Every structure is written in C-alpha cells, then in structure tokens.
Amino acid sequence: MLVEGDPVATGTVRVRGQRIAWQEFGAGDGVVLLMPTWCIVHTDFWRHQVPWLSQRYRVLAFDELGNGASDRPTDPEHYGDLLVADEAVAVLDACAVEHAAVMGVSQGGPWALALAVRHPDRVNAAVFIAPNAPLAAEHAECVAADERFNDVHASHDGWSKWNRHYWLSNFHDFLRFFFSQCFTEPDSQEQIDHFFDMGAQTTPEALLASLGTDANQLTAELASSYARRVRCPSLVIHGDQDAITPLARGEELARLAGSELIVMAGSGHEPQCRNHEVVNAHINSFLETANVRRHP
Amino acid sequence: MTNDIEVTQRHADWTVVGRGWGHAVENFATLSEPANVREYVSMHEHLRIGPGDRLLDIACGSGLAVELAHLSGAVGAGIDASERLVAVACDRNPDADMQVGDMHAPPSADGTFDVVTSFRGIWGTTPEASTNRSRPNQTRASPLASRRCTGGCHVGRR
C-alpha cells in the first residue's frame, strides 16, 4: 500500500463518504504535499522522492480513490479533477498542516493547480511534473482513441486498447500497453513492471468510474483561468518525449502561471521515476529558492 | 472481470535493469547519491558499523555508501547491475570488492559478510523481498540479503 518506507504517521480521512488513506514521512518545518495521480497507480509512484524529501521536510502523501489503501468506489460521481482538492485539504487538516509545497504528476498536475488556486492560503509553492491540464491539444492518437472509447473494435492494437470493452476484457494487457507509453526511455522494463504492479491493484470497473463525470472535470477554459491565477512560486518539469501528455501542455501552464520551466530532453511521462536524479535536484533547488522552509 | 495475464512474481532481466540505471551515471553519482549522505551515515550508525566489519552493499550504485562505511573502518564490498555505476564505485573504492552482477545471485558465498545494506535496491515489489514492509530498516529485511550474512549479522534496508 501507498509509499514504501517508514511513515511516522498514517491515517484516513473521509471525504464525501469515501475513505482516503494518507501517510506522513520525515520531519521539518517545511511541509511537502505529494498529490496522487490517476488511480491507475497508487502513491508509490513517488518512491524516488519520498525518502529523499523526508530527510529534510515533513512529507504527506495520499492515495486517490480507486487504488492503494483508499476506497475504490465504482460510481463516477466520486471522481473528477475538481474534487481532489477537497481531499488534499482534508489531509492537510488531519495532519494540522497550515500550508505546504504541493507537487503533482500528470493528472496530479491539474489537481495541484486547482488546490493552489482554490486554497491559496494552503499552498506556498507548486511543482507540476508532466501536468496534464487541458491547455493544449492532446496527442492525435489519444484523441482518436478517446473518440472511439465506447465502440466495439474487431481488434485492439496500440492506442485502440484505450477502450472501455478492452479494459473490461483484457485489463492487464491494457496496463502493460499504457505503461509502455509512460516510459519511452530505453531499458525501462523495471519501471514498467513496477507501475504494472500498482495498476493491477485497481480494477477496470474502478478505473472506468475514475474517468468521472463532465461536471467535475477541469475544462480548457477553467484550466486557463486557474493557471493565470497561480500566485505562489511554481515549477513545471516536462519531458520532451512524453507520449501521454504533450510537452505543449506543460509549456502553456508555465507561460500562464509564470512558472520556471524545465524541459527534460529524452524524458517520457514519468521523469520523477525514470530520471529522478535530475528531477530531485531541480525540486531541491526550487524548494530552497521558494523558501518553503520557514527557518532555512 | 476477465484478465488475460496473471500477476506473477517476476523481475526484469538484471542486465536490462543495469542499463536502465546506468543511463545517467553522472547524474546518479553527482546529484543523487550525495543527497543521501545523511541516510547512509544514519544507517551505518544504527548498525554500529566499526573497524573490521565485512559489509556488502546490494545495489551499491556508484559506491558512496561503501566509501562512507570504509571511513568507519569497515571492509566494504558492493554489487550492482550497472557496469557504468560500478566503474565509478571502483574509482571511489579502490580497495573494495565491487562487482557487476545480479543481486539475486551475488557471487559471494552465503555467510560471507557481517553486515548487508541496501538503499532502495530492494523494494517490496522486488522478488524475494520480505513482506516485513512496516519496518524495512530492521533486520528481517530480505532473504536475499540475509543469506549473505553470518549468524548474528545485521541487515539494513531503506
């Protein structure tokens, strides 16, 4: 469950009747809140950041509904971009944390963005890694697959595995395909295996529900509005070989939010995992300059 | 739910893992490992590493933990899947036995070492890793590490 390591505290909060599991690591005056991402994985996707950050900061992490130690509702009403900020605030409250530096990867990027804008008093810095906010077009093959998501296909190759019926009948093969797209760097089998193990802990029913309802999604207009309203120091890190979230999305978020932008040459969708050495160094530098720690 | 592939205990070929970790050896050696010095020293103190202790570091990377153990008097050794990382480890530890290999089948005989450490070389998802994940820095960390130790040895895992 959750992140491997030695948590100093664990607990759950209830939000809209659902149980959210959280963990706390390390100690320090500064607090880092690691947002979850799409529940196709659980919070162990932060495994290369938690041990390192917790040497200097108090680190909080929680599982999104649908995977890890949190509940797995199969009603889409429980999921959506605009709902996760409430879960984050509940975790901060449970841990008596006034404000934190928030970090999000992929879908966790727009969730961190929403938290930073809707609760500016709780967020003193923000790191967006491969942020999947709808601020630029998706990859064409993803758009095509999405348009036929509910269709029945005669066969499923490549992105046509992004399909409701395929998830229900060949979930593990979909997972392997999807994570192969997350890690476009050579020799990434170890990382693909790790993500597959996390993905296998949810169900296709929960994953389908996690696509949510239109009412709770971050639209392009709202994402643009939110990005312009970021007031805290922010950093965007994005790989230029990201096959899931186009680099243009990270670039546009950085432009609108006034963020520092780090483009990682050769990196895919999970640089915090596949190129953690460099990502951690950038985060360290950013947190230092953002003065996250109140008593440096 | 119907699934076409069962979840099974498996791991990628260690040479692929080695290439994966060795792709950015300069970054690992100069950015990642130095950031872990507090952790390495804390673990060595916790394990009371001292003069003459025979220490093996599994997934030793570029060898900084072994180098620090040597400063405490330990006789260090390391194994890592990455040829490029071990090349740096050898530079840092010219007197230590640093080897490229599969950590699931290290060339040393069982019971060779007094202390075995591993810093993020053994995960809960690593085959053979113990299910004792609630206290991963304590002794029952991993059968594959424990076998290399003498009786009454110490195993440290983070």
Query: Using one digit for the tens of pLDDT, what is the confidence trace for B5-58?
Result: 444 445 678 888 888 888 889 999 999 899 889 889 999 999 999 999 999 999
The pLDDT tens digits of the residues spanning B106-154 come to 777 777 899 999 998 887 655 554 333 333 333 333 555 665 666 556 6
The residue of chain A with its CA nearest to that of B26 is: A277
- What percentage of residues in chain A have a pLDDT greater than 70? 96
With 0-12 CB in 10 A as exposed, 13-18 as middle and 19+ as buried, what is A61? buried
What does pLDDT average to in each consecutive run of 10 residues of chain A (296 residues)? 75 97 93 98 95 91 97 96 96 97 98 98 97 97 95 93 97 98 95 95 97 92 98 97 98 98 97 96 91 48
Is A4 within 8 Å of B158 when comparing Cβ atoms?
A: no
Choose the closest CB to B24 out of A191, A277, A280.
A277
Contacts of B136 in chain A (CB under 8 A): 4-6
- Residues 28-87 in B contacting A (C-alpha not used; CB under 8 Å): 28, 31-32, 35-36, 38-39
Do A281 and B31 make contact, defined as CB atoms within 8 angstroms?
A: yes
Distance in Å, alpha carbon of A48 to nearest chain B alpha carbon: 9
Q: Which of residues 6-25 of B touch A (CB under 8 A)?
A: 6-7, 10-13, 16-17, 19-20, 23-24
Across A212-245, b (16+ Cβ under 10 Å) vs e yields: beeeebbeeebbbebbeebebbbbbbbbeebbbb
In this complex, is the C-beta atom of B27 within 8 Å of any C-beta atom belonging to chain A?
Answer: yes
pLDDT digits (tens, 9 = 90+) for B142-153: 555 665 666 556
Beta-bridged to residue B56, according to DSSP, are B77, B116
Task: Convert the pLDDT of each residue in A52-98 to its tens digit.
Answer: 899 889 999 999 999 999 999 999 999 999 999 999 999 999 999 99
Instruction: Decide if A241 touches B, using CB distance below 8 A.
Output: no
Q: Is the pTM of this model over 0.90?
A: no
Q: How far apart are the CA of A140 and the nearest CA of chain B, in angstroms?
A: 28
Q: Would you say B63 and B98 are in contact if contact means Cβ atoms under 8 Å apart?
A: yes
Work out whether the CA dihedral B136, B137, B140, B141 comes out positive or negative.
positive
A vs B: CB pairs below 8 A: 91
